[in-house]
């Protein structure tokens, strides 16, 4: 029961965006995708979430081809947080998070509890009745995070649940970055498979069980952060000379540039 890409290629208007990519997102684990700009990270997320069909290869989601799942069942198991949101209508935070309950039929009362709990989890309960359009960038992103959390709040009987995050911490201050990582770890310990694109290698090293490094539409390396993050690889992929040390508290790899 995984979310897995098997030999995925994506060819779009003359460009090879992805070449022969294989990777797995395990339930109960955090998979981080890193790589330079334009390496194909977002394209991979689009294919993994079924937004784009791969030119070759197959995405298997809970033992069935992803495109075989009915849209509503898929939405009960797979939540996706995009990098940017287009929302420019004055929904309150409560209403935005409530949208995450659309795929479910749990009733208004249960939904209201879930909405309140999800907002509390992302430290945004004070935003409940405020308008989304009047929030700061970080507040908006927290409310959107609460929305996708509400979408997979309760376990689903049809299969394992997965959460896909595209740069979830880009607009956050230090405290909320840490909070997001804690939430991600909590979800993983509950059995949810998390896959996220991040830019901060140290953040990825601290949080991920599985690290996938992308370069030029291909997987350059994957494995545990300890295995993957080497001075040689970072030079080869990012073209930056760094030193890898150990974090004094967590003993995770620490990239010092």
Partner 1 sequence: MPTTKESWRAKEWTSSLRRIRSPWLLAILALLLPAVALFSMTVGTVSISFVDAWHAMAVSLSADSQAVTSQTQVILFDIRLPRVLLAMFVGSVLASTGAVMQGLFRNPLADPSLIGVSGGASVGASLVIVFATGLFGSSVVESGVLMGLSLVAAGAFLGGFVATILVYRLATSGIGTSVTTMLLAGIAIGALAGALNSLLSYFADNDMLRQISLWQMGNLSAASWSKVFIMALVSLILLLRFPADSAALNALLLGESEARHLGIDVQQVKRRLIVLTALGVGVSVALAGMVGFVGLVIPHVVRLLIGPDHRWLIPCSALAGAILLVIADSLARVVVLPAELPTGILTALLGAPFFIVLLLQQRREV
Shortest separation between residue 132's beta carbon and partner 1, angstroms: 10
DSSP letter assigned to residue 13 = T
- The smaller minimum CB distance to partner 1, of residues 80 and 183, is found at 80
Cβ pair 216, 40 in contact under 8 A? yes
Residues forming a β-bridge with 8: 21
Stretch of 29-37, 43-51, 192-200, 236-244 lying at the interface with partner 1 (CB under 8 A): 43-51
* Burial of 32 per CB tally in 10 Å (0-12, 13-18, 19+): buried
* 165-201: b (≥16 Cβ within 10 Å) or e: bbbbbbbbeeebbebbbebbeebbeeebbbbbbbebb
- The smaller minimum CB distance to partner 1, of residues 133 and 186, is found at 133
User: Is residue 42 near partner 1 by the rule CB under 8 A?
Assistant: no
Cβ pair 114, 99 in contact under 8 A? no
Stretch of 125-133, 181-189, 231-239, 244-252 lying at the interface with partner 1 (CB under 8 A): 125-133
Cβ pair 152, 103 in contact under 8 A? no
User: Is residue 79 near partner 1 by the rule CB under 8 A?
Assistant: yes
Stretch of 49-57, 170-178, 191-199, 248-256 lying at the interface with partner 1 (CB under 8 A): 49-57
* Chosen residue from 7, 105, 134, 186 binding partner 1 by CB under 8 A: 134
* Chosen residue from 15, 89, 105, 106 binding partner 1 by CB under 8 A: 89
* Chosen residue from 40, 103, 168, 217 binding partner 1 by CB under 8 A: 103
Phi (first) and psi of residue 136, to 5 degrees: -75, 170
* Chosen residue from 76, 161, 177, 215 binding partner 1 by CB under 8 A: 76
Phi (first) and psi of residue 193, to 5 degrees: -90, 120
* Chosen residue from 36, 82, 138, 216 binding partner 1 by CB under 8 A: 82
User: Is residue 151 near partner 1 by the rule CB under 8 A?
Assistant: yes
Stretch of 58-66, 69-77, 226-234, 240-248 lying at the interface with partner 1 (CB under 8 A): 69-77
Contacts of residue 180, defined as CB under 8 A and 6 or more positions apart, other chains included, come to 122, 145, 168, 169, 172
Cβ pair 209, 189 in contact under 8 A? no
User: Is residue 80 near partner 1 by the rule CB under 8 A?
Assistant: yes
Shortest separation between residue 78's beta carbon and partner 1, angstroms: 7
The pairing of strands 3-12 and 56-61 is: antiparallel
Shortest separation between residue 35's beta carbon and partner 1, angstroms: 21
Binding site for partner 1 (CB under 8 A): 49-51, 71-76, 78-80, 82, 85-92, 95-96, 99-100, 102-103, 129-131, 134, 151
């Amino acid at each position: 029961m995984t979310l897995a890409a098997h030999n995925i290629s994506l060819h779009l208007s003359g460009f090879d965006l992805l070449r022969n990519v294989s990777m797995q997102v395990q339930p109960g684990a955090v998979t981080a995708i890193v790589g330079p700009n334009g390496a194909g990270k977002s394209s991979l997320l689009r294919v993994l979430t079924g937004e784009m069909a791969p030119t070759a290869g197959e995405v298997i989601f809970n033992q069935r081809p992803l495109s075989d799942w009915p849209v509503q069942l898929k939405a009960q198991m797979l939540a996706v947080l995009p990098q940017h949101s287009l929302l420019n209508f004055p929904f309150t935070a409560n209403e935005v998070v409530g949208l995450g309950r659309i795929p479910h039929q749990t009733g208004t009362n249960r939904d209201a509890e879930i909405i309140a709990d999800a907002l509390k989890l992302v430290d945004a309960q004070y935003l409940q009745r405020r308008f989304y359009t009047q929030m700061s960038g970080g507040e908006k992103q927290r409310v959107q995070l609460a929305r996708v959390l509400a979408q997979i709040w309760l376990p689903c009987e049809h299969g394992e649940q997965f959460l896909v995050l595209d740069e979830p911490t880009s607009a956050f201050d230090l405290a909320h970055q840490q909070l997001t990582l804690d939430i991600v770890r909590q979800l993983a310990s509950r059995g949810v498979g998390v896959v996220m694109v991040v830019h901060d290698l140290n953040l990825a090293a601290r949080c991920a069980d599985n690290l996938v490094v992308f370069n030029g539409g291909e997987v350059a390396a994957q494995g545990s952060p300890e295995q993957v993050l080497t001075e040689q690889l970072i030079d080869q992929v990012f073209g930056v000379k760094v030193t890898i040390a150990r974090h004094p508290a967590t003993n995770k790899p620490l990239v010092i540039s």
